[in-house]
Amino acid sequence: DTKDKKIALSNNYAGNSWRQSMLKSWDKVTKQAVADGVVAAADPFTTSENQVTEQAAQIQNLILQGYNAIVINAASPDALNGVVKQACDAGITVVSFDGIVTEPCAWRIAVDFKKMGAVQLDYLADKMKDGGNLLEIRGLAGVFVDDAIHKGIEEGVAKHPQFKVVGSVHGDWAQEVAQKAVAGILPSLPEVKAVVTQGGDGYGAAQAFKAAGRPTPLIIMGNRQDELAWWKEQKDANGYETMSVSIAPGVSTLAFWVAQMVLDGKQVPKDLVVPFLRINQADLEKSLETTEKGGVANVEYSKEDAEKVVAGK
Amino acid sequence: MDVSKPAVELTAIAKSFGAVRALSGVDLILEPGECLGLVGHNGAGKSTLMHVLAGTLKADSGSLKIAGEDVSQAFSAAGASAHGIRCVFQELSLCPNLTIAENVRIVHRALKGFGWKAKAHGLIRQKLDEIFPGHGIDVDQEAGDLNIGQRQMAEIARAFTITDEPLRVVILDEPTSSLDAVTAKQLLTFMRQEVARGVSTILISHLLADVLDHCDRIAVMKDGKVVAERRAGQFTRNSLVAAMGTTVEKKNTPAAGSRKAAISAARAVEATPQTAPKAGNLVVHKGEIVGLAGLAGHGQTRMLIQIFDGARKSSALTRVEGKVAFIAGDRQSDGIFNLWSIGENTTVSSLEDLKRGPLIAAEREAEMARDWKERIQIRTPDMNNNILTLSGGNQQKALFARTLGSKADIVLMDDPMRGVDVGTKLEVYDMIRQEAGRGRSFIWYTTEIDELSHCDRAYIFRDGAIVAELGPDELTEDKVLHASFAESA
Amino acid sequence: MSEAWAKLRQQPWIWSFIAMIAVWLATIAFTRGQGSGEILTAALSFATFTIIIGLGQMMVITTGPGNVDLSIPATITLAGVVAMKIMDTDNARLLIGIAAALGVSFLVGLFNYGLIRLLRIPPIIATLSSSFLILSTAISYGRGIRIKPPPMLADFATATLLGVPLLAFLVLALSIIIALILKRTSYGRTVLAIGQNPRAARFAGLNVDLARFATYMLSALLAGLCGIVLSGFSGGAALNMGEGFLLASIAVVVIGGTSVAGGRANVPGVWGAALFTYLLDTMLNIFGANAGIRLIMTGLIIIAVITIAGGDRQQR
Amino acid sequence: MDALVLNRKTLRALLPLFSLAIVLFATFYAQPRTMSYFGLNLMLQYAVPIALATVAQMFVITVNDLDLSIGPFVGLIGCIGATYLHDTPLLGIAALVACIALYAAMAALIYLRNLPSIVVTLGASFVWLGIAVLILPSPGGKASDWLKAIMSLQVPVVPFPIVAALAIAALVHVGLMTSAYGVIMRGTGGNPRAMARAGWSELKTKMAMYALAGVFGVLSGLSLIGLTTSADAHIADRYTLYAIAGVILGGGEFVGGRVSPFGAVLGALTLALAGSFLIFMRISPDWQIGAQGAILIIVLALRAIISTGEARR
Ligand SMILES: Nc1ncnc2c1ncn2[C@@H]1O[C@H](COP(=O)(O)OP(=O)(O)OP(=O)(O)O)[C@@H](O)[C@H]1O
Ligand SMILES: Nc1ncnc2c1ncn2[C@@H]1O[C@H](COP(=O)(O)OP(=O)(O)OP(=O)(O)O)[C@@H](O)[C@H]1O
Ligand SMILES: [Mg+2]
Ligand SMILES: [Mg+2]
C-alpha cells in the first residue's frame, strides 16, 4: 500500500520537445495516480541547466523534503553516485531512467543506446545491399548518450563494412546546430547515401541537403512529429523510405510505476531494459496520427504495462 | 651623498612621440638642496622631461646622471626611487580603490610583513599633519572617495614619506592646480623647509608668482628646449612671461561700468545649495560672470552639478533658464574621452548643430575642430590625433572649445584653469568676457583668487553653504579669505 | 601597396577577415577545391544569424565594461516560439506573428533595462536572470511544441539571389545602417562616449540614460528578429534554438575588434568574425578530427588570431 | 555626514551577508527540516566548489580581467582528478601543476600582447573542454578516497561546508585585503599606470593573480569530484557564470580592483541556497527555471534598496 508515499521526479533539463513530452506524460499519469489515491504525491522538479552539480543539489534537497522515492533522469551516469548513495542511505528508493546512474543501490531503467546506433546500420544494410557513404550526426561531445550511440554506429559499420562514415559532425541535439554543421561539411563530401543520427536531427539534415541542392539521402529519423510529417510528405511524393528510432518520453511513467512497486514492497529487478520506440515505413501513418503536432511519438505506461515490463514480458 | 656633485644632471635629452618632438636636447642641472622652478607654455615638454627623470619614460637619447653616477643605461621607475627621486605627477597617480595608507605602501617596498599597515598609517598621517595642518583627511578612506584637492594633498604627502630609501629629489608637477590658496601656501612653505634640509625640488607651475617667490632658480622651457635659466631674483613676472614666448600681459581687468551694461535683468539661474538650504541662495543673471570661491571641497562642485542637473529636471531648489554646459576641472574623470581624437572631443557637445539631415556632417565637424584649434591655439599637428597626445593644459583647452563651441546659454566651470598656461589663460579670459557680452552666463568655480577679478560677483562657500556674496569691489584676497574662514551665519 | 597595407593593418577588423580567408583556404586545400563556393554560401547563410545578434551585442558591449546582454539566446527562443505559434503555418498571419514577436522582444528590452536602471543590477546578472524568466515564458507559452513556419517565411529565409542568401543582403543593409548610426548620429556617439567615460558623457550634455535604454532595446529587438528569421530558416522554433548563440554573440563581437572595455565598436569585424567562426567549425568538421581535438583547435586558433591581431590595438 | 558615509559603506559590506541571511531564512521557513546540522550540510555541500571557483574568478576580476574559462577549467581538473590523480598520482600532480602554469601563461600572453582577456579565456575554455573530452570521452573515472574523505568530513557543531567556506574566505581575505602584497594586486586593478610608475611589474602581478585563479580552480575541481566521486567534462560548465554572479553578488566590481573575498564566498553560498529554496517552493515545472532568475533579481534588488542615493564613481 503506497497511498501515503511521496514520489519526486528529478529532471535536469527542459529545453527540448522530448523533455517537455516527458514532463507532460509524467504529469498526466501521476496526476491520475494521485487522484486515484495510489500515491500521495508525485512532484516534478527541473533544474535550469543540464548540470551535474545543480541536479545533485536538487536531489539533496529532495532528500530533505522527505520524499519516499526519487525518480531520476540523470545528467551523468557516475557523477551523481555520491548523492544517490546519500539518498539510499536515508532510506529513499531511487529509480533512474533514460539517463541512468551506476550506483548499485538504485534501480535502472535503461535504454540500450548502443543498440539504438547498431540497428540503424542493420536497417541500412538491409535496404542498401551495395552499401555506401554515411554522414553521422552526433550529439554533445563528452556526454554518455552520445558516446554510447556512436559506439553502436561504429559497431554497425564494422559489421557491415560496405558502409563508410565519410563525415561526422556534432549537432549537440539541437536542430539549428545540426543543420549548421551539416550545411558546412556537406560541400566537401562525396555522394552521401544515408545519414545516421541520434534522434531529432533528421529534419534539419534534410533542410541542409535541400539548401545545398543535393539529392536527399536516406535519413534515419528520431520520432519527432516534424520529422514524421516530412517523411510522410516525401513518401507520398516519391515513395521515400526510412525508419525512425528514439526513446519514448513516456518512459518516465514506467519509472514512476517501478518506484511505486518498489515502495509497495514488490520484488523488482535492479536492472530493467526498455525497448526503444521504432517506427517503420508501415507504421508511419498510424504513428503520425497519434503524435501531437509539433511533439514526439510517445508511449505512456499504465500500471499493467509496467508490471509486464517488470515481469520480463 | 656627494654634496659637490649636482643632484641631477640631464644632458641632451631628446624624446619624440611619433611625429611630435616633445624634447629636443634638454640640458638641465639640479644642485643638492636647491629648488628649481620649471615653467613654460602648455606642451613645452615639462612633464615629459620629468617622466624621463622619474624613470617612467625612456628618453630617445641623452644622458642622465644622479649624484654623479651615470644611470642612462637601464633606468627605471624602481631605479629612480632607489636613487631617492620622488615624483608627484601632473595626472595624479593614486589607486582609487585603495585607502590612503595602502597607497603609501605602493611606493615603499620596505613596508611589508607584520604591522606594515600601522607603519604606513603613521607615516602618512604624520606627513599630512606636518605639511597640511588641519587637512581633514582620513587615511583609512579610499582615495576614490576623496575630492581632487584632497587626493592631491595625499599624493604630495606621500612623496615626502621616508622608509629605507633616501629622499633626494622631489618633483612637483603642478602640485597646486587643485589646491586652494591656503593649502597651496602650506605646501610651498613646507617645500622651502625641505629644501633647507638639503632635499632638491623641482616645482612646475603656471602660477608664476609661486615660482618667482619660492624657487632659487628658474628654467624656462619652450617647444622642447630650455630657453632661459637664471636665478629667481633675476626674473620679474614680465621678463618670465616674455621668456616663455607669450606676448606681454595686457591690463585685463575691465572697468566695472563697461560690464554692467551687458548684464541683463533676466535671471538665468536661481539655486539654493541642497546641503544647506537655509543659508543663502545663488542668483545669476543673463550675461553675468559669477564666481564661486572659498576653500576647496566646500561644495562648489556640488553646486555646479546641482545646477547642471536642474537644467534637465528642475526642482524646488534649482531653477535654470536655458541650456547649460559643464567644463570639468578633473579632466581625467569628468572631461575627456580618451579613445577619441581631439576633434571628436571638441565637437561632442555640438553634434545636433553639425547635422545635415539626420546625420552628422563629417566636413562640418572637421571645420568646427579646425576653427577651434585656431581660436584657442591647441598645440597639435592634427586635430585627428588622439586626445591623449596633448599635454595636460592643451587637453583642458579642448574641453573649453567643446563648451564654448556649444549652444549653451549658461556655462558651468569647475575650476577649469588647472594646468593652463599664462598666455592661454589670458586668451580664455578674453573669450569668456566676449561670450558674456553676447548674453551667455558663466558660473565659475576657481581656486585661484586672482581669477575672481574677472567675475562680476562671487559667492563664498563654506561647509556646503553660501556664507557671503562679494561685489566687484570686494573681490580681493583679503576679503575672500576672510569670508572663507568666517563662521557661517 | 605597402602603404595601403600599413593603413589596412591598423583596422581592427582586418584580422578576422584574414583569419576567415586562411581557414577557408586551408579547408579547400584539404578538399582539393571541392565545394569551395558552396562552403562560402553556407557560411553566409548561417553567419547572418550570428551577425544580426552580434550587432546588438556589439552596441551593448560598447556602452562600457560590465555591459553585456546574456538574454539574447532566450529572447531568440521566445520570439521564435511566439512567432511560430501565432503564425500557425498560415501565410496570412505572417505580419501579426512578426509584430507579436517583436512586441515581446520590446518587452524583454524594457524589462532588462528596468532591472539595470531601476534596480541597479549589474547588466551581466540582470540579463542572466531575465533570460531564465524569458525561457520559462517560452516554455509555458510554447509547451515545447515545434510548429513549422508559414511557407512564405520559410521561402523568404532560405531564398538566394545570385547564389548569395537574400538574408545576407538584408543583413548587410542593416549593418550599414548600424555603422552609420554609430559614426554619424548623436545616439551612436553617445554610445561610444558612455563606453569610454560615462561621467564625462553626462557632463558633455549627452543623454546617457536614453542611449543605454535604446541600446538594450536594440539588442532585444535584433534578437527577436533573429528568432523570427531563424525559425523560418530551420523549419520552426525550438526551446533550445538559442543555445548556441550565447558565446557566439560575444565571440564575434570581440574577435571582430570591438573593445571589451567599451567605447570602440566595429561593424565589419562582426562580419569577419561570424564568417570566421563558422568556417573554422566547418574546417575542423571536414578535417574529421575527434571532438576533443576539434575543441582544442578551435580554442587555439581563436587565441592565435587575437594574438596576431592584438599587438596593433592601442587599448584593450 | 561622515558617519552617514561610513554607515552606508558598512551596510554595503554587510549586504552579501544580508542577502544570504534572507535566503537562508526563507529556506528554513519553506522547509524547517533544513534547519539542522544534517540539513545544512546537505544543502551547502555543493556550494564549496562553487565558492572556490568564485574566488578564482575574483582574482582575475581584481586585475580588471574576466575569466570565461573557469567553468570548463574546473571540469578539466575534475577529469584529471578522477583519472591520472587517482591512477598515477605523480602524473596527476604534474598535470595539475601544468594547468596552473598554463593559467599564468595565459596572463603573460594577455599582458604582453595587450589582448582582451575575454577573448583569450573564451578560446581557453574550448581548449580546457577539448582536453577534458580527450581524457574522458564519456563521463566516468574515480575520485581518490582521500578526496572523498575530505569532502565528507564531519566537523562538530558547525557543518563542514560552512567551516570550509569561512576558512577559504578568511585565508583569501588575509592574503588579498590585508597583506602588503595584496595591496599591490588590488592596486594594479585600481590604477595600473600608477603601479607601473611606482616600479611594480604589471606582468608579474597579472601572472600571480592568474596563477592563484588556477590554484583555486584546481581546488574547486578536486573538491567537486570529492563530492560527485566521478567526473564529466561538462560537469562545471555553468560555473563560469555562477562565479561571475557570485563575485558581483558579493559586492565586487568589474573594473577598478574593488573586490571582497568574504562577499564573493557569501555570494556563492547565496546562489547555491537560492536554488534549494526554489525546490522547496513547489513551483510548476514551467516556471522553475524562471523562478531562479526571479530569486537572483530579488536578492540583487536588495542591493539597490540599501545603496539608493549613493553616487559613486
Ligand atoms: N603619450 C604621448 N603621445 C604623444 N604625444 C605626447 C605624449 N605625451 C606628451 N606628448 C606631447 O609632447 C609634448 C610635451 O608634452 P608635456 O606633457 O611634456 O607638456 P607640458 O610642458 O607638461 O605641458 P602642460 O603645461 O600642459 O602640462 C606635447 O606636445 C604633447 O602633445
Ligand atoms: N551628484 C554628484 N554626482 C557626481 N559626482 C559628484 C556629485 N556630487 C559631488 N560629486 C563629486 O564628489 C566630490 C566631492 O564633492 P564636494 O561637493 O564635496 O566637493 P567640491 O567642493 O565641489 O570639490 P573641489 O573643491 O575639490 O572641486 C567632487 O569631486 C564631485 O565631483
Ligand atoms: Mg605637464
Ligand atoms: Mg570642485
Partners of B414 in the beta sheet?
A: B445
Average pLDDT over residues B353-376: 90
Reduce the DSSP state of residue B293 to 3 states and report it: strand
Q: Residues A27, D211: contact at Cβ < 8 Å?
A: no
Q: Distance between the two ends of chain A, CA-based, in angstroms?
A: 24
Distance, in Å, from the CA atom of A88 to the CA atom of A81, rounded to the nearest integer, reads 10
Tell me, rounded to whole angstroms, the distance of Cα B170 from its chain centroid: 18
pLDDT of residue C312: 41
The answer on pLDDT for D40 being more than 70 is: yes
Average pLDDT over residues B131-152: 88
- Ligand 2 atom nearest residue B149's Cα: 26
- Ligand 2 atom nearest residue B148's Cα: 26
Put simply, the answer to whether C125 touches D290 (Cβ < 8 Å) is no
Partners of A296 in the beta sheet?
A: A224
Nearest alpha carbon to residue D217 among D51, D63, D42, D14: D51
Going by pLDDT thresholds of 50, 70 and 90, the confidence category of residue C314 is very low
The answer on pLDDT for B382 being more than 80 is: yes
Put simply, the answer to whether B337 touches C199 (Cβ < 8 Å) is no
- Ligand 1 atom nearest residue B206's Cα: 25
Put simply, the answer to whether B359 touches C264 (Cβ < 8 Å) is no
Distance, in Å, from the CA atom of B381 to the CA atom of D182, rounded to the nearest integer, reads 44
Put simply, the answer to whether A53 touches D229 (Cβ < 8 Å) is no
Average pLDDT over residues C139-168: 86
Is the CB of D8 inside 8 Å of chain A's CB atoms?
A: no
Average pLDDT over residues C250-258: 88
The answer on pLDDT for B17 being more than 70 is: yes
Average pLDDT over residues B62-73: 86
Helix (H) / strand (E) element for D3: namely: helix D2-30
Tell me, rounded to whole angstroms, the distance of Cα B382 from its chain centroid: 24
- Ligand 1 atom nearest residue B48's Cα: 18
pLDDT of residue A150: 92
Q: Which residue of D has its CA nearest to B109?
A: D180
Which of D178, D189, D193 lies at the smallest CB-CB distance from B97?
D189
Nearest alpha carbon to residue B396 among B308, B301, B328: B328
Amino acid in the structure at residue B36: L
Distance, in Å, from the CA atom of B94 to the CA atom of A209, rounded to the nearest integer, reads 62
Interface of A with D in 155-174 (CB under 8 A): none
pLDDT of residue D1: 42
Q: Residues D209, D225: contact at Cβ < 8 Å?
A: no
Going by pLDDT thresholds of 50, 70 and 90, the confidence category of residue C270 is very high
Going by pLDDT thresholds of 50, 70 and 90, the confidence category of residue D5 is low
Region of residue A172 (phi > 0: left; psi between -120 and 50: alpha; otherwise: beta): left
Q: How far is D53 from chain A (nearest CA, A)?
A: 13
Nearest alpha carbon to residue D268 among D28, D12, D14, D46: D46
- Ligand 1 atom nearest residue B391's Cα: 17
Going by pLDDT thresholds of 50, 70 and 90, the confidence category of residue A291 is confident
pLDDT of residue D311: 41
Reduce the DSSP state of residue B324 to 3 states and report it: strand
Nearest alpha carbon to residue B270 among B230, B303, B248, B222: B303
Q: Which residue of C has its CA nearest to A22?
A: C144
Region of residue D157 (phi > 0: left; psi between -120 and 50: alpha; otherwise: beta): left
Average confidence score pLDDT of chain C: 89
pLDDT of residue D238: 83
Which of B390, B397, B421 to mutate to test ligand 1, by most ligand atoms within 8 A of the CB atom?
A: B390
Average pLDDT over residues B169-184: 88
Distance, in Å, from the CA atom of B241 to the CA atom of B222, rounded to the nearest integer, reads 11
For the Cβ of B392 lying below 6 angstroms from any atom of ligand 1, the answer is yes
Distance, in Å, from the CA atom of A141 to the CA atom of A135, rounded to the nearest integer, reads 17
C-alpha cell read off for A261: 512497486
- Determine the distance separating the centroid of ligand 2 and the alpha carbon of B148, expressed in angstroms: 9
C-alpha cell read off for B30: 639640479
Put simply, the answer to whether C146 touches A169 (Cβ < 8 Å) is no
Distance, in Å, from the CA atom of D232 to the CA atom of A146, rounded to the nearest integer, reads 13
pLDDT of residue B246: 61
The answer on pLDDT for B249 being more than 60 is: no
Residue nearest to atom 23 of ligand 2 (CA): B297
Distance, in Å, from the CA atom of C184 to the CA atom of A72, rounded to the nearest integer, reads 57
Which of C38, C146, C294 lies at the smallest CB-CB distance from A224?
C146
Distance, in Å, from the CA atom of D71 to the CA atom of C66, rounded to the nearest integer, reads 19
Burial of D116 (0-12, 13-18, 19+ CB in 10 A): buried
pLDDT of residue A7: 92
Put simply, the answer to whether A175 touches C132 (Cβ < 8 Å) is no
pLDDT of residue A48: 64
Distance, in Å, from the CA atom of A124 to the CA atom of A169, rounded to the nearest integer, reads 20
Residue nearest to atom 2 of ligand 1 (CA): B389
The answer on pLDDT for D309 being more than 60 is: no
The ipTM (two decimal places) reads: 0.83
Distance, in Å, from the CA atom of D229 to the CA atom of D221, rounded to the nearest integer, reads 11
Q: Which residue of C has its CA nearest to D256?
A: C65
Amino acid in the structure at residue D65: D
For the Cβ of B43 lying below 6 angstroms from any atom of ligand 1, the answer is yes
Across chain C, which distance is largest between two alpha carbons, in Å?
A: 60
The answer on pLDDT for B116 being more than 80 is: yes
Distance, in Å, from the CA atom of B203 to the CA atom of B213, rounded to the nearest integer, reads 12
Nearest alpha carbon to residue A137 among A98, A194, A214: A194
The answer on pLDDT for B479 being more than 60 is: yes
Is the CB of A302 inside 8 Å of chain D's CB atoms?
A: no
Which of A64, A78, A141 lies at the smallest CB-CB distance from D140?
A78
Q: Which residue of D has its CA nearest to C61?
A: D118
- In chain B, the percentage of residues whose pLDDT exceeds 70 is 95
For the Cβ of B44 lying below 6 angstroms from any atom of ligand 1, the answer is yes
pLDDT of residue C22: 92
Per-residue model confidence as pLDDT tens digits over B24-36? 889 999 999 899 9
pLDDT of residue C313: 44
Per-residue model confidence as pLDDT tens digits over C183-224? 999 999 999 999 999 999 999 999 999 999 999 999 999 999
Weakest-pLDDT range from A241-250, B259-268, D71-80 = B259-268
Average pLDDT over residues B150-171: 90
The ligand with the least distance to the CA atom of D313 is 2
Helix (H) / strand (E) element for B421: namely: none
Average pLDDT over residues B339-364: 91
C-alpha cell read off for B135: 587637512
Chain B CB contacts of C206 below 8 Å: 348-349
For the Cβ of B391 lying below 6 angstroms from any atom of ligand 1, the answer is yes
Q: What is the pTM of this model?
A: 0.86
Interface of D with B in 71-110 (CB under 8 A): none
Partners of D29 in the beta sheet?
A: none
DSSP string over C88-156: TT-GGGHHHHHHHHHHHHHHHHHHHHHHHHTS---HHHHHHHHHHHHHHHHHHHHTT--PPPPHHHHHH
Put simply, the answer to whether C298 touches D126 (Cβ < 8 Å) is yes
- Top pLDDT among A197 and B449 is at A197
- Top pLDDT among D95 and B242 is at D95
Helix (H) / strand (E) element for D306: namely: helix D285-306
Distance, in Å, from the CA atom of B43 to the CA atom of B244, rounded to the nearest integer, reads 12
Chains that touch C (3 or more CB pairs under 8 A): A, B, D
pLDDT of residue B259: 65
Q: Which residue of B has its CA nearest to D187?
A: B95
Chain D CB contacts of A81 below 8 Å: 228-230
Nearest alpha carbon to residue D31 among D295, D278, D290, D300: D278
Going by pLDDT thresholds of 50, 70 and 90, the confidence category of residue B254 is low
The answer on pLDDT for D34 being more than 60 is: yes
Q: Residues D151, D230: contact at Cβ < 8 Å?
A: no
Asked whether the CA dihedral A102, A105, A109, A112 is positive or negative, the reply is positive
Cβ neighbours of residue C170 under 8 Å, at least 6 residues apart? Answer: none
Pairing between β-strand B69-70 and β-strand B61-66 as defined by DSSP bridges:
antiparallel
Put simply, the answer to whether B333 touches C199 (Cβ < 8 Å) is yes
**Separation in Å, CA C206 to CA B349, C8, C186, C200:** 7, 32, 8, 9
Helices (H), chain A: 17-35, 52-65, 81-89, 113-127, 144-159, 175-185, 202-211, 225-238, 251-263, 284-290, 303-310
Reduce the DSSP state of residue A57 to 3 states and report it: helix
**Separation in Å, CA D79 to CA B454, C280, D106, D230, D269:** 74, 27, 21, 8, 24
**Separation in Å, CA D193 to CA A217, B96, B113, D180, D187:** 62, 12, 25, 19, 10
- Top pLDDT among B277 and D96 is at D96
Q: Distance between the two ends of chain C, CA-based, in angstroms?
A: 29
Distance, in Å, from the CA atom of D190 to the CA atom of B143, rounded to the nearest integer, reads 10
pLDDT of residue B314: 75
Per-residue model confidence as pLDDT tens digits over B393-428? 889 889 999 999 998 999 999 888 887 888 888 888
pLDDT of residue B252: 52
The answer on pLDDT for B473 being more than 90 is: no
Weakest-pLDDT range from A33-42, B470-479, D107-116 = B470-479
What residue has cell string 633675476? B234
pLDDT of residue B260: 67
Is the CB of D129 inside 8 Å of chain C's CB atoms?
A: yes
Partners of B219 in the beta sheet?
A: B38, B229
Q: How far is C163 from chain D (nearest CA, A)?
A: 33
Put simply, the answer to whether D287 touches C251 (Cβ < 8 Å) is no
Chains that touch D (3 or more CB pairs under 8 A): A, B, C
Average pLDDT over residues B190-194: 92
Which of B15, B20, B377 to mutate to test ligand 1, by most ligand atoms within 8 A of the CB atom?
A: B20
Q: Residues B474, B459: contact at Cβ < 8 Å?
A: no
Nearest alpha carbon to residue C79 among C108, C52, C58: C108
The answer on pLDDT for B355 being more than 60 is: yes
For the Cβ of B296 lying below 6 angstroms from any atom of ligand 2, the answer is yes
Nearest alpha carbon to residue B45 among B27, B31, B33: B27
- Determine the distance separating the centroid of ligand 1 and the alpha carbon of B427, expressed in angstroms: 20
Nearest alpha carbon to residue C54 among C305, C243, C245, C215: C245
Burial of B18 (0-12, 13-18, 19+ CB in 10 A): exposed
Distance, in Å, from the CA atom of D184 to the CA atom of B107, rounded to the nearest integer, reads 10
pLDDT of residue A313: 59
Interface of C with B in 201-260 (CB under 8 A): 201, 203-206, 259
Weakest-pLDDT range from A307-311, B272-276, B482-486 = B482-486
C-alpha cell read off for B150: 584632497
Q: Residues C77, C235: contact at Cβ < 8 Å?
A: no
Whole-angstrom Cα Rg for chain C: 20
